[in-house]
């Protein structure tokens, strides 16, 4: 009698998602922030996986600037390209473009709360039009045909009504039945936008309800109110999700990933020294110039600088200085003034 292989506790993951067993967190899609420079800096700090900001299907299919923006650096893997759209055929065509560009995972956005465009539902608004959302899920699964794993980002419902909750479960069950590899659920409703807390008990209920699918390998990730390294592990503990999507908590804070790795390694969690802050600001700036050119990089770095300032001992003063930045020269001045080189410790 041949030996039966012992049952592995962890089902085999699709390769682009295998990181979850080593480091259960990733960098979320963040419109206006999570560009290639932010992703590369996060990866240098121990982030194992990134999602792009939501890309409109017709910009990808139309070619030109939208398509160029989606091109990938060799070091920027594994990565999910996130798609947003209204029409199943268009979003399916967008998915094919992402596969051709070398994205490791295609992620569908059913979460964005920005209002409908020309009465068409897209993003989170599709949660209130479950038939349309489901048609999109089918079309993308057909178009990608197993070439890369698929995932979905959704909110816990369109609003707090029982109908919205039923629609959420109908959509998520379809995601599972169609063989999607993963879903990330943001514990706020679409109507809630970013106001009020994310409902973690909803995530806990969800992992109980979909336990069988999770045991068969379907990955459930949680999102909402991840402000620091402790909240990553608290969410996993309290809700049972496989992993956590880090969003606002990593803007101007790539160290959250280094700290998460330190915590898993049982090491003390160190805040970034002033020297680290200066090096990261300079490296981020250089990558941004390379990606966007000086003018746009200047604007991008100003908003990042305001977030990075939180780590400085003179946080308020540094944030004010970044807020006042008008030119690239101003940005360099702030760096020179508040982040002098050659100092190893925090000021
Ligand atoms: C400025 C901003 C832009 C965002 N853009 C996206 C996006 O493009 N795609 C996406 O899936 N989520 C996007 N989100 C939602 C986040 O990924 C995340 O789900 C949400 O911020 C909740 O997590 P948090 O409370 O830990 O920030 C965005 C959030 C913010 C604040």
Are the beta carbons of 57 and 90 closer than 8 angstroms?
yes
Burial class of residue 233, CB neighbours in 10 A (0-12, 13-18, 19+): middle
- Average confidence (pLDDT) over 152-167: 98
Q: Does residue 30 have its Cβ closer than 6 Å to ligand 1?
A: yes
Neighbours of 159 (CB within 10 A): 14
Q: Indicate which residue's Cα is closest to atom 9 of ligand 1.
A: 29
- The string of pLDDT tens digits covering residues 171-180 is 999 999 999 9
pLDDT at 119 over 80: no
* pLDDT at residue 343, rounded to an integer: 52
- For residue 332, what pLDDT is reported? 86
Q: Which of 16-30, 288-302, 323-337 has the highest mean predicted lDDT (pLDDT)?
A: 16-30
Mean per-residue pLDDT for 276-301?
Answer: 92
Q: 331 CA distance to ligand 1 centroid (A)?
A: 26
Tell whether the model's pLDDT for residue 181 goes beyond 70: yes
Determine whether the shortest distance from the Cβ of 247 to ligand 1 is under 6 A.
yes
- Looking at residue 71, its pLDDT comes to 93
Predicted pLDDT of residue 116: 67
- pLDDT on residue 237: 98
What would the CATH number be for the domain defined by 15-264?
3.20.20.70
Average pLDDT over residues 318-335: 89
Q: What is the pLDDT of residue 154?
A: 98
Ligand 1 centroid distance, CA of 20 (Å): 20
CB of 83 closer than 6 angstroms to any ligand 1 atom: no
Looking at 240-244, 273-277, 297-301, which range is the least confident one?
297-301
- Whether 262 has a pLDDT exceeding 70, the answer reads yes
**Which residue, chain included where needed, has tokens 């995601």?**
175
**Quick one: tokens of 321?**
């200085």
Whether the pLDDT of residue 245 is over 50: the answer is yes
pLDDT given for residue 347 in this prediction: 31
Q: Indicate the average pLDDT of the chain.
A: 93
pLDDT at residue 9 in the model: 64
Give the pLDDT band (50/70/90) at residue 345. very low
Q: Which of 25, 26, 27, 30 to mutate to test the pocket of ligand 1 (most atoms within 8 A of CB)?
A: 30
**d(CA 243, ligand 1 centre) in Å:** 16
The confidence score (pLDDT) of residue 187 equals: 98
Q: What is the mean pLDDT of residues 259-285?
A: 95
Average pLDDT (78-83) is 98
In ligand 1, the atom with minimum distance to the C-alpha of 198 is: 25
pTM here is 0.95
Three state DSSP letters for 284-329? HHHHHHHHHCHHHHHHHHHHHHHHHHHHCCCHHHHHHHHHCCCCHH
The C-alpha angle 345, 346, 347, rounded to 5 degrees, equals 115
Rounded to the nearest angstrom, the distance between the alpha carbon of 53 and the centre of ligand 1 is 9
Lowest mean pLDDT among 46-50, 61-65, 209-213: 61-65
Report the distance separating Cα 86 and Cα 267, nearest Å: 46
Name beta bridge partners: 245: 26, 223
**What is the distance between the alpha carbons of residues 197 and 201, in angstroms, rounded to a whole number?**
11
Secondary structure class of 212 (helix, strand, coil) = helix
pLDDT at 346: 41
With a pLDDT cut of 70, the percent of the chain lying above it is 95
């Amino acid at each position: 009698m041949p030996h039966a292989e012992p049952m592995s506790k962890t089902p085999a993951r699709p390769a682009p998602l295998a990181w979850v067993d080593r480091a259960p967190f990733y960098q979320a899609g963040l419109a206006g922030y999570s560009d290639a420079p932010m992703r590369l800096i996060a990866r240098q700090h121990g982030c194992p996986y990134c999602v792009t900001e939501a890309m409109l299907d017709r910009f990808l299919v139309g070619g030109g600037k939208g398509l160029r923006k989606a091109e990938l650096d060799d070091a920027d893997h594994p990565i999910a390209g996130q798609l947003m759209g209204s029409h199943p055929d268009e979003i399916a065509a967008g998915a094919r473009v992402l596969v051709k560009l070398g994205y490791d995972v295609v992620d569908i956005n059913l979460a964005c709360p920005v209002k409908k465009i020309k009465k068409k539902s897209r993003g989170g608004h599709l949660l209130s039009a479950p038939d349309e959302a489901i048609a999109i899920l089918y079309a993308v699964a057909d178009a990608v045909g197993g070439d890369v794993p698929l995932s979905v980002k959704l909110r816990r419902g369109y609003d707090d009504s029982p109908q919205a909750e039923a629609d959420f479960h109908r959509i998520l069950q379809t995601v599972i039945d169609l063989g999607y590899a993963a879903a990330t659920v943001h514990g706020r409703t679409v109507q809630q936008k970013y106001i009020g807390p994310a409902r973690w008990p909803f995530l806990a209920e969800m992992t109980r309800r979909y336990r069988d699918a999770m045991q068969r390998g379907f990955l459930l990730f949680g999102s909402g109110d991840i402000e620091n390294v402790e909240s990553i592990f608290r969410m996993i503990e309290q809700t049972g999700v496989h992993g956590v999507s880090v969003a606002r908590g990593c803007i101007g804070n790539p160290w959250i990933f280094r700290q998460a790795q330190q915590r898993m390694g049982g090491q003390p969690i160190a805040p970034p020294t002033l020297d680290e802050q200066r090096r990261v600001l300079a490296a981020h700036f250089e990558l941004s110039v390379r990606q966007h050119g000086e003018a746009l990089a200047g604007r991008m770095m100003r908003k990042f600088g305001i977030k990075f300032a939180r780590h400085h001992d003179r946080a308020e003063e540094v944030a004010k200085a970044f807020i006042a930045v008008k030119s690239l020269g101003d940005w360099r001045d702030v760096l020179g003034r508040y982040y002098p080189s050659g100092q190893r410790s925090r000021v």
